Amino acid sequence: ALEDGLKKADADPSVKAVMICGENGKFSAGADIRGFSSPKTLGVALGPIVSLIESSEKPVVAAIEGVALGGGLEVALGCHYRVAHAKARMGLPEVTIGLLPGAEGTQRLPRLIGVPAALDMITTGKHIPATEALKLGLVDEIVEENTIEAAIRLANKVIGQPLGPRRLSLKPVPKLPNMEAFLQEAQVKVKRQARGFLAPELCFQAVQAATQRPFAEGVRRERELFQVLLSSGQAQALQYAFFAERAVHRWATPGGINLLFIIFDSILLLSLGLGTMGQGIVTSLVKANIPVVALEQNLEYLNKGRKAVMVLLEREAKKMEGGAQKLDFHNPARLQFTVDFNLLHDVDLVIEAVFENMALKKEIFHKLSNICKPGALLCTNTSALDIDEIASATSRPQQVIGTHFFSPAHVMRLLEIIYGRHTSPSAIATAMQLAKDMKKVGVVVGNCFGFVGNRMMFPYVEQAVFLLEEGSRPEAVDQVLEDFGFKIGPFRMSDLAGLDVGWRSRKGQGLTGPSLPAGSSARQRRGQRYSPLPDLLCERGRFGQKTGKGWYQYERAGGRTATPDPWIHGFLSQYRDTHRIETRYIDQEEILERCLFSLINEGFAILAEGIASGPEHLDVIYLNGYGWPKHRGGPMFYASTVGLPRVLAKLQKYSEAHPDVPKLRPSAFLKKLVAVGNAPLKEWMSYLSRQSPKL
């Protein structure tokens, strides 16, 4: 249509200028991402159309409203002028779906805004607001009112002016005094951050080509690189992740009810507990423009918490344009700190974020149930505790729901939303809406120990520790998983989170500590293999970063630079001697497979139990809360790319070698999917006889 329109306009002498706009207040979100999975729909190449726009003999003005992303922005770059609405956002986000701008955007953008800014936009895929686009010279004008009228005004003004200088393909790339050095440094940075993710590196190469070759050759290079990415497999993983994230917004209850309404006109939210988690939650709420009261049990904790929240908010405000004014967090109508439980009467929604202790949580929920107004929703921030048991302390279990935030809560996007046996659909809908307002990805899951994310994490960490018993070292295991794409491996993660957290939980479960029955075997619990290694470290005061020693050693207590610790190496060999374990060499493949496949195996069990309604939900949780590398699409998608028969065969092999490790025993659901012929991921759930009984 664009091509036809342009040709008609060019041929019609009564047309003096052309204006291109989108429909319904949106310029364009770019190519249809679904089209990339079918080569047929890629038939129409956008690049030549962009060139056609640029070569028009009549001035073409883009009127950008809403978004101009990807191919949308590339179309705008072909125009001779760009007018944007002040609220519009622009970007070349192709890298986030594993691609690069394939319609000449990598060649035009650096010519317009210079190499540093273009590289930044293209390799990160970030969306920038119109005000920033104006500063960069990406748009010629921004308007508060009618963009289309403004674009037409500009078009009328420029009729008859020479178009040569406005054709980006004819412009040279602006020179930098130190272009070589700049590019070298930028490439190192891109590579370091990509950790196996191809698209940023190829985006870099395409922009580099713009600095080294004439426009037409640069375009050829861009097309070659685009094809490499298109067939890399990473693009499919990222595009799957894009749609998976949107699919988790669609949730249903046992009767198929899916309520999408907010039950409160205006929310006054109360955050209870101002520890690290509470501080992050309050910061996110203020950022989401939700009036919030932060409550602590005593003044000492309150003042400490208030100070920390203020530091976080100041920092957030600095990142935003007009941040302090927008956040307005010194205004008591927006944010109050109190120790007065009477304020609970007026709040619509409570997020409790006290210490992870069942007795304490029950006591608080009993109190909340007595004080809060009848409609108030009561959320508990917990990473593993039973929502039904917490709800049983109230007279309104239908209004109790789990909201598992991830630390730091003002940064991490994931919010696991856990419904109990009595949680009402409107409570789920409200929690989902809250997630959306807080710009988080809410995923509805069922109630079980560890919910989805942590439940899948337990066997992964368990395998990592077993590998140490058998002959590996923390740094070797971490390296394999970091090479796979995780930001940090399980041991560095454990040091960061604090080894004492798990120790406390194991003591609570009677797996270690004083409640462990006398005479228990060191490496067996309840008939299963158990590793006391983490407990032994904790007994020696090695809690991780906070004590300067854990699985690694650090420069000081609270230090962040992990270095392999010879003490740990000696300790491990002594441990193996004590327990007569023969040290063996464990290769990278075994490390990777045992850690990942045990996690994936638990995912299949979760799906079969109806704790989550589809593999996409598990993947979205892992991508947004556990640092799973995005270009691998999430654990369940990864399993589908490895092939379920291979995952099954490997689990069978490892399970035979370790018969006392139940988490290596292949799940019945995985076996079934292999038996039916390696079913594709989107069909998995149709092979469950009872679908999502808990949702």
Ligand X SMILES: CCCCCCC[C@H](O)CC(=O)SCCNC(=O)CCNC(=O)[C@H](O)C(C)(C)COP(=O)([O-])OP(=O)([O-])OC[C@H]1O[C@@H](n2cnc3c(N)ncnc32)[C@H](O)[C@@H]1OP(=O)([O-])[O-]
Interface contacts to ligand X, rule CB under 6 A: 29-34, 42, 45-46, 67, 69-71, 74, 93-94, 97, 101-103, 105, 226, 243, 246
Name the residue with tokens 């019609």: 12
Q: Between residues 402 and 442, which has the closer beta carbon with respect to ligand X? A: 442
Helical ranges in 35-146 per DSSP H = 46-55, 71-78, 105-113, 115-124, 130-136
Between CA 452 and CA 459, with CA 454 as vertex, the angle to 5 degrees is 105
Buried b (16+ CB within 10 A) or exposed e, 122-161: bbbbbbbbbbbbbebebbbbbbeeebbebbbbbbeebeee
Q: Which residues are catalytic?
A: 74, 94
- The Cα 676–Cα 669 span in angstroms is 11
Shortest gap between Cβ of 47 and ligand X (angstroms)? 7
CA atoms of 250 and 245, how far apart (whole Å): 10
Closest distance of CB 94 from ligand X, Å: 5
Q: How far is the CB of 96 from ligand X (least distance, A)?
A: 6
d(CA 402, CA 364): 14
> Closer to ligand X at the Cβ: 230 or 431?
230
To ligand X, the closest distance from the beta carbon of 72 in angstroms equals: 7
How many CB atoms within 10 Å of residue 391? 26
Q: Which residue is listed with tokens 């109790």?
A: 400
DSSP-assigned letters across all residues of 585-602 = ---HHHHHHHHHHHHHHH
Strand partners, 369: none
Residue 93 vs 490, nearer CB to ligand X: 93
Residue in 617, 196, 250 with CA at minimum distance from that of residue 436:
250
CB of 313 to ligand X, least distance (A): 25
Q: Say which amino acid occupies 42.
A: L
Residue with Cβ nearer ligand X (381 or 613): 613
**Pair 204, 187: CB distance under 8 Å:** yes
- Least spacing, CB of residue 246 vs ligand X, in Å: 4
Contact between 548 and 554 under an 8 Å Cβ cutoff? The reply is yes
- Quote the least distance from Cβ 139 to ligand X, whole Å: 18
Phi/psi-derived region of residue 564, left when phi > 0, alpha when psi is between -120 and 50, beta in every other case: beta
Decide if 173 contacts 211 (C-beta within 8 A). Answer: yes
> CB neighbours (10 Å) of residue 465?
21
Six token digits for residue 165: 């200088």
Comparing CB distances to ligand X, the nearer of 236 and 512 is: 236
Q: Which two tokens stand for residue 437?
A: 């307002």
Alpha carbons 231 and 234: distance in angstroms, whole number: 8
Task: For the CB of residue 37, give the shortest distance to ligand X in the complex, in Å.
Answer: 11
Measured from the CB atom, is 250 or 487 closer to ligand X?
250
Cβ nearer to ligand X, comparing 30 with 614: 30
Q: Which is nearer to ligand X, 67 or 225 (CB)?
A: 67
Q: Distance (Å, rounded) from C-alpha 416 to C-alpha 382?
A: 10
In a 3-state reduction of DSSP, which class is residue 190?
helix
In the bound state with ligand X, the residue whose beta carbon lies nearer, of 2 and 324, is 2
DSSP 667: P
Query: Largest alpha-carbon pair distance within the chain?
Result: 97
Q: Name the phi and psi angles at 86, rounded to 5.
A: -60, -25
284/447 with CB nearer ligand X: 284
Separation in Å, CA 641 to CA 74, 231, 237, 352, 623: 32, 14, 9, 40, 16
Contacts of 503 (CB under 8 A, 6+ apart): 512, 534, 535, 538
Q: Tell me the closest approach of the beta carbon of residue 90 to ligand X, in angstroms.
A: 11
Inter-axis angle of helices 453-470 and 474-484, to 10 degrees?
Answer: 130
Q: Least CB distance from residue 97 to ligand X, whole Å?
A: 5
User: In whole angstroms, how close is the CB of 248 to ligand X at the nearest point?
Assistant: 10
Closest to ligand X by CB, 32 or 145: 32
Cis peptide, bond prior to residue 408, ω within 30 of zero: yes
Tell me the C-alpha distance between 125 and 127, whole Å: 7
Yes or no: say if 62 and 56 are a contact pair by the CB < 8 Å rule: no
